[in-house]
Structure 1
């Protein structure tokens, strides 16, 4: 049995679930919209045991051999009185999430990806240090709340981008003279500034020991939001040099990630920079443009997962 946890309209989760359904593999979708119609009994002793119920479906936790998780905070999905933190419904959603997250950390099942492996993404500076330790180049970076220091960094490099420090998605933007009057705002919000590196973006999706690389052609500061700047985006599958490919594999292995999205940039003189590693990549955006069967690869990874000791039939 394979468990999927998240929202049914989440594109990556839906894509993998469809592949599993077509293959006839037994799978259960823990739909977070149905959290109030779901329950979980978990016992952790010599073995990890329990029962998961989602609507009319019920499965023993010992039957689950693999899990693909992309959860949100279930309490944010509640409506009406249930959204009141004092309500029993709110407490139920909170406890259900906590219990299932705990199971993901202690289960012998193959989890893509464990919460502990994804934790490094919550701090971009920490992750950058990990990336650099594996031999990738990273842009010169400044994290500061001092407008003067930021201005000096900007003047030194000429071209600079800024982005969020946390794992929450943010739009990468290039600093321009229009930002000068707002630079004082960083006094209240630690901000990450990076040297702008020119070159071609390459996104690499790792699935197990397989790599799916695609080259992205766009003049936008952040190609994911090129439409907001009225700019086009082109993507095409590409091959990585063997040393770069091996470095991607080693980096993700060091981070304990079996599925990841690695953001690279190849400079005109063939230097490779790595900006970040996404531990829960929205791969469908790239798959749509390139035709790469990343959903199939993830489904196959889940299906190949070793059966946990004590598996029940």
Structure 2
């Protein structure tokens, strides 16, 4: 079993422990370690139509042909010690296409998830369209850099939120920032809207949130309630959050399976907002992180075992 991720990945650690409990031989690599921390060689030809070779780290010598599955998590950003900027970028791109290309095309390996599928499913534009096509309820959404369109949307829907497409990049000195989902009023919108792309959505009057983690055919759902009824439950002290079990309606469950199949995914972390309605709670799809975190959830142990199940399926005795 090959695990591709950064050294400080606790989510991956929980899966590795579950695999080791089953006697699986696990090799962990981070492409950013190329050099003294990671060497590789691979060949094709001479009658072979697949890549054969090895990955070597200080603790493992892994033959490519013996890798039955790949848990592709979150490798570190690629880096180079070259002082010349052009040489640095060239070296990074060579690693991305050489070692990175190899790790994406290992023979006879099951991927959870394949990085190509993860990248395709990482665009919120694609997520909302797929969810709507599969019959899931979504919020009215505008994506734009047009100030007039943004103001018109905010005036029409009255209660509107802004949500960034991606997290804030880490600063050169290592500081991490975040832009939480926030309320937007028409008079707060100005010329800066035209400078980049923005996503505005009609605010749902939610009663709580739901995080639904799907691994293969196993579904793990957690109700998340914030005591202050925050728009974005990620903001503030996570110790104040209240977690509870929630049953996923069969129609939603079926749509989630279809969603994963649409993008070629084995796993995804889905976020819904729940709204009290006349006929019970209404589920509104917000997004799906195809490589999301889940080790903080109360049922993380069961989720780790589900990962072990799907990674070993079909090749591990």
What is the TM-score of this pair, normalised by structure 2? Answer: 0.83
What secondary structure is seen at the aligned counterpart in 2 of 1:285? coil
Q: Is the aligned partner of 1:217 residue 2:228?
A: no
Q: Is the aligned partner of 1:64 residue 2:67?
A: yes
Residue in structure 1 matching 2:247, options 234, 239, 244 = 239
Q: Is the aligned partner of 1:46 residue 2:63?
A: no
Q: Residue in 2 aligned with 1:162? A: 162
RMSD: 2.6
What is the TM-score of this pair, normalised by structure 1? Answer: 0.84
Which is further off, 27-36 or 232-241? Answer: 27-36
What secondary structure is seen at the aligned counterpart in 2 of 1:128? helix
Deviation at 1:39, TM superposition (A): 1.9
Higher helix share: 1
Q: Residue in 1 aligned with 2:118? A: 118
Deviation at 1:285, TM superposition (A): 1.9
Q: Contact (CA 8 Å) 1:122, 1:167: kept in 2 or not?
A: no
Q: Contact (CA 8 Å) 1:120, 1:127: kept in 2 or not?
A: no
Q: Residue in 2 aligned with 1:187? A: 194
Once residues 83 and 311 of structure 2 are traced to their aligned partners in structure 1, the CA distance between those partners, rounded to angstroms, is 34
Q: Contact (CA 8 Å) 2:210, 2:224: kept in 1 or not?
A: yes
Q: Is the aligned partner of 1:131 residue 2:131?
A: yes
Once residues 244 and 209 of structure 2 are traced to their aligned partners in structure 1, the CA distance between those partners, rounded to angstroms, is 11
Deviation at 1:248, TM superposition (A): 1.2
Q: Contact (CA 8 Å) 1:42, 1:51: kept in 2 or not?
A: yes
Q: Is the aligned partner of 1:197 residue 2:204?
A: yes
Unaligned ranges ≥5, structure 2: 170-177
Unaligned ranges ≥5, structure 1: 308-313
Q: Contact (CA 8 Å) 2:294, 2:300: kept in 1 or not?
A: no
**Residues 157 and 252 (structure 1), Cα distance of their counterparts in 2 relative to 1, 3 Å cut:** same
